[in-house]
A and B are shown apart, each in its own frame.
Chain A
Amino acid sequence: DAGVIQSPRHEVTEMGQEVTLRCKPISGHDYLFWYRQTMMRGLELLIYFNNNVPIDDSGMPEDRFSAKMPNASFSTLKIQPSEPRDSAVYFCASTAGTSGSSYEQYFGPGTRLTVT
């Protein structure tokens, strides 16, 4: 398996623009997580899905952020409108959850977002 795939790897955009980050989880994994990493706040969980259904989005910073998972092999994280404080590295991770929470997560390479 190619692992978790994220695109783009780097995104530079201007304040106010819409940004869409994409993720393809590992085939067969039924949990998908979106994280944001910054020096100041460390690794933050934004939202997670189980079987394509959003379970907990309490980590989403505000209404400018939205996430979807239309099928088992694709998820998007959208920021509209983007702001400079959204600059961070965004990670997608997936895991199997059949037997509970004992499984490790597999992370994608991340998308480095810079909003100017």
Chain B
Amino acid sequence: AQSVAQPEDQVNVAEGNPLTVKCTYSVSGNPYLFWYVQYPNRGLQFLLKYITGDNLVKGSYGFEAEFNKSQTSFHLKKPSALVSDSALYFCAVRESYIPTFGRGTSLIVHP
């Protein structure tokens, strides 16, 4: 069975500083990995995905994520955080047609 863990309920970072939101996964085969963002009163919005190839994936709004097979991790990163990045971030894994979502990490970027 597939699973995903987001170990931090909340991440606080100052504007302009780099940010990392952590995600680890467990699958029996090759994973498809996704990051989504949810702004208040909105649905989840796709940010980026890893399917195969380069371990560093670039996505929307300057976000990127690094796939690390040995550590079974797919951490979300951004070199310089913006206040507008404050939102709820979800990691998801798909080994079959049904995705499994993490519980979400609330990112708070302070001015």
Contact = CB atoms under 8 A, between A and B. Distances in A.
Given A42-B103, A43-B104, A97-B97, A102 B49 contact: yes
Given A91-B44, A107-B45, A108-B43, A101 B101 contact: no
B32 A102 contact: yes
A52 interface: no
Contact of B98 (A56, A100, A107): A56
- Binding site secondary structure of chain A: strand
A104 B34 contact: yes
Nearest to B31: A101
B85 interface: no
Nearest to A97: B97
Nearest to A41: B103
Nearest to A44: B101
A104 B49 contact: yes
B74 interface: no
Given A42-B101, A42-B103, A43-B104, A101 B46 contact: no
B98 A43 contact: no
A109 B43 contact: yes
Given A91-B43, A110-B43, A101 B34 contact: no
A101 B32 contact: yes
Given A43-B103, A56-B98, 4 more contacts: A101-B94, A102-B49, A109-B41, A109-B43
Interface of A: 4, 31, 42-43, 45, 48, 50, 55-56, 91, 93, 97, 100-102, 104-110
12 contacts: A48-B98, A50-B97, A97-B97, A101-B99, A102-B32, A102-B49, A105-B36, A107-B43, A107-B45, A109-B43, A110-B42, A110-B43
